[in-house]
Chains A and B, each alone.
Chain A
């Protein structure tokens, strides 16, 4: 008895954060800096900043031109659907589908890795604010449920997270893409500047900006500026892009209030029906397979949209037999991603004697212009933005043309044409029927139940894609591009954007949503969910910056509520 109570004290913290990716890292930083003793539970292995084994390898030091062997690839069948994620240089960041299966009623690409830092190591780093056009979209057209917050609620928190993370970008003064606290922008190259000017002049001031990316253009908060190697996804030894490992977890560690426990699979929130509060979480140790409990006054679920939802669905009690947060009937529903890869590319004539030095870790961003201001589409709702870049084609162009022998070598030694490509990222609507459900028939390597995905793009998305393609072609044509190629990939399934969100959404009432305006589970207010699960709509911009801002805002709320003895 005595021993047990000691053990309980030993396993008790002020706050538990589940997950150590972008959201979990922020929760850990904010809560520890506000004085809470925080336990971060990460299901994957330990990784510390600097432990990036492939970061400095040259192309010839990687096997098979950095391609997996056919035998290795068998373990990554779904992770490889992106075509770019799993390589010998990065495979330690991606999980094996053979160990972590899921079931697809319809194809869904669930691309992820389990380790301290999560996907903050491999993320795309584009960082954009949602605008009030996004926060009011559900209320205006009736899809999904209204966001319980507006831009003014989140704006100071965007300021806060941008200031710490270091986002390079250019202010453009656009209603649909609010400016932020930027480090100096990465410059556009000659061809991009020409395209920017052509688009502005021929499309009534339409803006093509440079990507706003979490890559440092100057030394920042003890981290070194970008070296323009563009090898971010291997992990950056310079700490030149924002990740939990380079940024938030070291800040949390500095407070002396942080404990990280890796290999700790949280499979349930423990619900105390009398107190109507969570008392802690149940953990399965991935190594010893031992089950144990950890306790805290407040719990932050930051395990990724899908896995935080899985934890809630698996947190079954007499009060909530379908899982904690299930009372609205929305838990696991409204699954969203961005639909993308539709766009165009073309050769930009001229600038033959111009080139660049350095490999840029981002590109251009062309913010949404559809259903904004005077633009009104009759055929679809909401909008899309483009990412892209111009570059001179390298040796990869040479297979068909350029001959052989000395002629080929001479041709390889000089850069090819300037080519500009643009890929749309489109908003998907929140559909109740796009969902994940618990699958107890298929277990993962740890004996845990898995998920079944039933999600699809619908008419609004498919109609928008046609416009994404033609508009990209039109803008390239207006920029004088030649040999324009329209890209309309047919195998673009949800999940491929790796922006899954919405499965425990925020809302205005316990009847229409899982979370309230502070990201608290309506039914259990000392549980906060601040990752992609919370999103009531997807907008068309990359979502991670919004997860950061929501997390920091929720952490402040939690600390105030603890002081008020409300949790």
Chain B
């Protein structure tokens, strides 16, 4: 049986009597889990609680099968954390900082030094590795935080707003690196972001939080698979015979104007069948697009839902 990445068991967190997370429940098994939500939704608090920085006021959670209440130290041994805000030690260069953090995670001195150099080169900080971190640009500081998070080769990587404040190029580089780490197959990800694109590009499961509650859980991978045959077709010519023929094969249709047709194909109908039917009825297919509910649609629906739940 596969151990879920995160299990939330009626997890609640309160700060000074104010509920921040309320009765979160669910089981997430994805390789990369995205946390979405507006500011103040509780994304960072959830991550910090999973790392043991805040004690749950009730309920609990398990990471890789380990309870956050009883096995926090063990969890932190397997996890790498990249905080949202600046996190460095003034006057320290990247090599010293990353090496020290590696040693604090239990790496022997020599191993920590070797992995530090590898990690900094992997992230593209090789040339700047002996410069004090406070002299780095924002993008480089983000990469230095990522280096600290991965130097010990964790089983799980917790990334809090990793693309915060980055320009387009730096953001693309960061996303590429995150995907590379994910695709290595050794590390699972939890990524919090307010940028839907980041989550969409990196994650296969998404948890949307609003006011400390889970409003949507969606498996993007499954969503993509299920919506694979939801098509938007642009047809030219007299389409009525074509539509009748397509409908007769069990397709669901919605015609928008004269030429744009939305259709959901049953499993036995392939796209090449559409072209064949179009040819038989004298219709020319100009363009076919796969359409699905985008993460943006899902997010907006979640935010608009009056009771906070879809």
Specify whether A and B are partners.
no
Interface residues of A (CB under 8 A from B): none
Residues of B in contact with A (beta carbons under 8 Å apart): none
